[in-house]
Amino acid sequence: MKHIGTARRRASIAGLATVALVAIAGCTSSPDSGSTRAADSTAAADALDLSTVTLTLGQNDGTVPPLFLASGILDDLPYKVEFATFPDQVQSAAALVSGETDASITAQYTVVQAVAASTPEWTEETIPYVTAVSTDRIHPDVADWVGTVSSPASGITELTPEAVRGKKWTTTPGATNFLTMLQTLDYLGVGYDEIEWVSLSNADGALALLNNQVDLASGGFSNYTESVAAGGHNLLSGADVGPGSPGGLIVATAALDDPLKAAALEDFVARFVEYYHWKLTNPEAVQKVLIEETKSTPEAAELSWRLFHRGLPKPIDDDLLAVTESISALAFKAGAIQRDVPAALQFDDRFNSVVAATVAELKFDEAIAASVAEYP
């Protein structure tokens, strides 16, 4: 775990998706935003003229921009924020390489895959993006949001080696749910080549499962409520079979090497922590956005909030590096990546103090305890 140096070469990737940018500046305040940004971070941003700076945040979840808007976290920005939405995390990460985006909400497994596939091999000096903030489940006793679900006609009610061999199993390439499938296979002692992997987006995978075009799907349980209602089964969760993949805020190293963007990012990291606190403490507001944006039922929106939108931002630490090493080793063992990759070069800890201070100021521990007590 190191600070990344300033001498880097920028890489490039062709064929990026066409994206829609949503600009956010001077939004109307939300009364529940509870802004308490760490003082040092705010002072650093205020000391510089950031009025010409635009940070572009990539993600593959269309609810992120409206949730940020509803939270009020981006009110009174001294810089500008735009959102770019991509079909999947692979393309979202690729946009960091091309310079199309400055940061992305991405699973660590996506980073592992990119490092393993890099040619020439990325080093500390050449890696085009690093994880600056990690996010994790709020409490081990809270149900994991991701796992494996069977289709209504599959007849699979329990995950066993015999039940899954030869079956069609869908996930999104490069995403956390692909790693969940690998960890589940490893837990069962079944080889990756013993199942038929079907590469689909989350939405297409959920539809394929409902229509019995695949037998199994790994992903957020909230994606497959219709399949379960039609006779499918929620099976093992990600927490049952392995450490999963932490998510986080991935930042382009070119942005970190730009003094003005780096200052804006420091302020944004504090707001990113606030955003997670707002989602944790405002379930009704979050669910309202989910219902409006995804046309989901109130029941599905509540489940999505419980499982997917309650997270804890964390500083970069040795435990995170150890989990990342285990993810890389498993993917390499399964043949999903061509080489095992070191964890240390994938992270930058320069914002650790901002994350820790903002978590403490917001009394995240109290908010977690209250949320777990009311919504176990």
Instruction: Verify that 230 and 278 share a domain, yes or no.
Output: no
Rounded mean pLDDT of 96-116? 94
Looking at every residue in the chain, the average pLDDT score rounds to 87
Residue 314 lies in a domain: yes
Instruction: Verify that 119 and 151 share a domain, yes or no.
Output: no
Domain boundary among 224, 241, 258: 241
Q: Which pLDDT score, from 0 to 100, does residue 112 have?
A: 94
How many angstroms separate the CA atoms of 309 and 289, rounded?
A: 12
Q: Which pLDDT score, from 0 to 100, does residue 201 have?
A: 87
Domain boundary among 241, 276, 311: 241
Give the CA diameter of the chain. 63
- Tens of pLDDT along 108-118? 998 999 999 99
Instruction: Verify that 125 and 154 share a domain, yes or no.
Output: no
Question: Which neighbouring-strand residues pair with 104?
Answer: 58, 250
> Hey, what amino acid is at 205?
G
Residue 12 lies in a domain: no
Q: Which pLDDT score, from 0 to 100, does residue 300 have?
A: 85
Q: Which pLDDT score, from 0 to 100, does residue 45 have?
A: 60
User: What is the 8-class DSSP label of residue 183?
Assistant: H
Q: Are 271 and 74 in contact (CB under 8 A)?
A: yes
pTM given for the model: 0.80
Q: Which pLDDT score, from 0 to 100, does residue 175 have?
A: 73
User: How is residue 160 written in tokens?
Assistant: 């066993």
Percent over 90 (pLDDT), the chain: 69
Instruction: Verify that 135 and 229 share a domain, yes or no.
Output: no
Q: Give the pLDDT band (50/70/90) at residue 247.
A: confident
User: How is residue 175 written in tokens?
Assistant: 């995403």
Q: Which pLDDT score, from 0 to 100, does residue 280 have?
A: 97
Domain residue limits at 75: 21-140+246-374
Q: Give the lowest-confidence range in 46-50, 307-311, 356-360.
A: 46-50
Residue 7 lies in a domain: no
Closest CA to 331 of 118, 111, 58: 111
Q: Which pLDDT score, from 0 to 100, does residue 37 have?
A: 47
pLDDT over 80 at 263, yes or no:
yes
Q: Which residues fall within 8 angstroms of residue 39, CB to CB, at 6 or more apart?
A: 357
Q: Give the pLDDT band (50/70/90) at residue 20.
A: very low
How many angstroms separate the CA atoms of 138 and 368, rounded?
A: 6
Domain boundary among 204, 219, 241: 241
Instruction: Verify that 64 and 115 share a domain, yes or no.
Output: yes
Q: Give the pLDDT band (50/70/90) at residue 308.
A: confident
pLDDT over 50 at 25, yes or no:
no
Instruction: Verify that 228 and 369 share a domain, yes or no.
Output: no
How big is the CA angle at 37 (ends 73 and 256), to the nearest 5 degrees? 85
- Tens of pLDDT along 163-201? 999 999 999 876 788 889 999 999 999 999 999 999 998
Residue 1 lies in a domain: no
Between the alpha carbon of residue 301 and those of residues 60, 79, 162, 293, 310, the distances in Å are 18, 32, 34, 10, 13
Q: Which pLDDT score, from 0 to 100, does residue 41 have?
A: 53
How big is the CA angle at 262 (ends 260 and 268), to the nearest 5 degrees? 105
Domain count, the chain: 2
Helices (H), the chain: 39-46, 64-71, 89-98, 108-117, 161-164, 176-188, 202-210, 225-229, 238-241, 253-256, 259-281, 283-294, 298-308, 318-334, 352-361, 364-374
Q: Which pLDDT score, from 0 to 100, does residue 324 have?
A: 94
Specify the higher pLDDT residue, 56 or 239: 56
pLDDT over 80 at 18, yes or no:
no
Residue 127 lies in a domain: yes
Instruction: Verify that 152 and 236 share a domain, yes or no.
Output: yes
Residue 11 lies in a domain: no
Q: Give the pLDDT band (50/70/90) at residue 10.
A: very low
Residue 2 lies in a domain: no
Q: Nearest 10 degrees: CA dihedral of 82, 110, 217, 168?
A: 130
Q: Which pLDDT score, from 0 to 100, does residue 177 have?
A: 86
Instruction: Verify that 76 and 26 share a domain, yes or no.
Output: yes
Closest CA to 99 of 142, 55, 147: 55
Neighbours of 246 (CB within 10 A): 22
User: How is residue 201 written in tokens?
Assistant: 């987006």
- Tens of pLDDT along 191-230? 999 999 999 988 899 999 999 999 999 998 878 989 999 9
Q: Which pLDDT score, from 0 to 100, does residue 174 have?
A: 66
Instruction: Verify that 350 and 304 share a domain, yes or no.
Output: yes
Residue 4 lies in a domain: no
- Tens of pLDDT along 60-80? 889 999 999 999 999 999 999
Instruction: Verify that 282 and 356 share a domain, yes or no.
Output: yes
Rounded mean pLDDT of 326-338? 90
Q: Are 169 and 218 in contact (CB under 8 A)?
A: yes
pLDDT over 80 at 140, yes or no:
no
Instruction: Verify that 154 and 59 share a domain, yes or no.
Output: no
Instruction: Verify that 200 and 342 share a domain, yes or no.
Output: no
The CATH number assigned to the domain holding 341 equals: 3.40.190.10
